[in-house]
Amino acid sequence: MHTRDLSDHATYEAGRGIEEVARKLGRDPGEFVTLSSNENPHGPSPAAVEAIRETAGEVNDYPKAAHADLREAIGDRRGVDPRQVWLANGGDGAIDYLSRAFLEPGDDVLVPDPGFAYYGMSSRFHHGDVREYALSKGEGFAQDAETVLGTYDGERIVYLTSPHNPSGSTIPLPEVETIAERTGEETLIVVDEAYGEFADRESALALIEGREDVAVLRTFSKAYGLAGLRLGYALVPAAWADAYARVNTPFAASEVACRAGLAALDDTEHVARSVESAAAARAAFEERVEAPVWESEGNFVLIEVGDATAVTETLQKRGVIVRDCSSFGLPECIRITCGTDEETDRAIEELNAVLAERSAEAER
């Protein structure tokens, strides 16, 4: 017995964690700082932690009320009907729901290159195919309508990422609207705003009220610090909001996740601290790293270092774990998550030292 043919399916490569690297190098995990997965360096919302403790004794119940309460709270916060909030097991779960709702076998999706591998993975899981539009490193990974429309050929779903991972670039709202206007009636524009809290940009949510072809993805993983709970959602037009009941996994968001999400939504202090900290770290990387750093509006920066694999491995030995962007098709770049002040300072100092050593070796 065999699975269906999965040979054309990509695999998602996550950033390496402290335990994995420490085991590999035979070192104490306490020696390392991990800045490879765009996690919140300030931890989860304290209000969410308290909610998790209070909910722990109730996990024998399915999250019926909590699920409804969280959809209502998000709807109120985002200015949409709760039915337009599709809760999911992380942002990738919301991507799957949209794939289930829109893709027929053989449909194509259009995704950015480089970009988040799961867009294409979800399409292939649902018997769709994948086409790519290129974001140019030489143009700072700039995102605009012409870049997307120059490749567009009637795909069923077009994915935009704002801020874009791994570069941190964003796409202005008028450009999103132009793409929606100039694509076919049966094309859905999905704007992934997983890092939206960190960006000084108007959300594409502004387009949903007047259109039926734009959806927005959001997550609790980044600014709210709840990556381990796997909680995300899609915001969709009212015209097809009821499709959620036909495509979602029953109780996809757990009782603990829903209650933590409810508490985190109200913890504006934690979000503000996380956003301000990321902005300060981005500025520090741009000003102090002795290598090209792309301007970013996420909680991470992309840096050109020459041989990303070699630099990543050397940094690991020095106790700093970063993301080798070879898996994004950028073998000359690394991505570093914005850490605390101390973590960011350490990353900059160690990176500059590694770059200086490599430069000296090249000159010998």
Q: Give DSSP secondary structure letters for 301-334.
A: EEEE-S-HHHHHHHHHHTTEE-EEGGGGT-TTEE
**Total number of domains constituting the chain:** 2
The answer to whether 92 and 14 are in contact (CB under 8 A) is no
Q: Inform me whether the pLDDT recorded for 177 exceeds 90.
A: yes
Residues 82 and 173 in one domain: yes
pLDDT, mean over the chain: 93
Q: Inform me whether the pLDDT recorded for 7 exceeds 90.
A: no
CATH assignment of the domain containing 241: 3.40.640.10
Residues 37 and 70 in one domain: no
243, 267, 291 - which closes a domain: 267
Q: How far apart, in whole angstroms, are the C-alpha atoms of residue 109 and residue 321?
A: 33
> What is the tens place of the pLDDT at every residue in 22-71?
566 666 666 679 999 999 999 999 999 999 999 999 889 888 888 999 99
Whether 1 is covered by a domain: the verdict is no
Question: Any idea which residue has 């920066």 for tokens?
Answer: 301
In which band, very low, low, confident or very high, does the pLDDT at 250 lie, cut at 50, 70 and 90?
A: confident
Whether 13 is covered by a domain: the verdict is no
Q: List phi, psi (to 5°) of 105.
A: -50, 130
**Single pTM value for the model:** 0.93
Residues 219 and 284 in one domain: no
Whether 106 is covered by a domain: the verdict is yes
Q: How far apart, in whole angstroms, are the C-alpha atoms of residue 116 and residue 136?
A: 16
Residue predicted with more confidence, 65 or 191: 191
The two tokens of residue 351 are 């990176």
The answer to whether 128 and 177 are in contact (CB under 8 A) is no
Question: Any idea which residue has 């998000």 for tokens?
Answer: 74
Whether 354 is covered by a domain: the verdict is yes
Q: List phi, psi (to 5°) of 27.
A: -120, 170
Whether 2 is covered by a domain: the verdict is no
236, 267, 298 - which closes a domain: 267
Q: How far apart, in whole angstroms, are the C-alpha atoms of residue 94 and residue 188?
A: 14
> What is the tens place of the pLDDT at every residue in 256-291?
999 999 999 999 999 999 999 999 999 999 999 999
The two tokens of residue 12 are 């998602």
Residues 115 and 204 in one domain: yes
Residue predicted with more confidence, 31 or 351: 351
Predicted pLDDT at 302: 98
Residue numbers of the domain that contains 118: 46-267
Q: Inform me whether the pLDDT recorded for 90 exceeds 80.
A: yes
CATH assignment of the domain containing 26: 3.90.1150.10
Maximal CA-CA distance, the chain: 67
Mean pLDDT of all residues in 125-152: 96
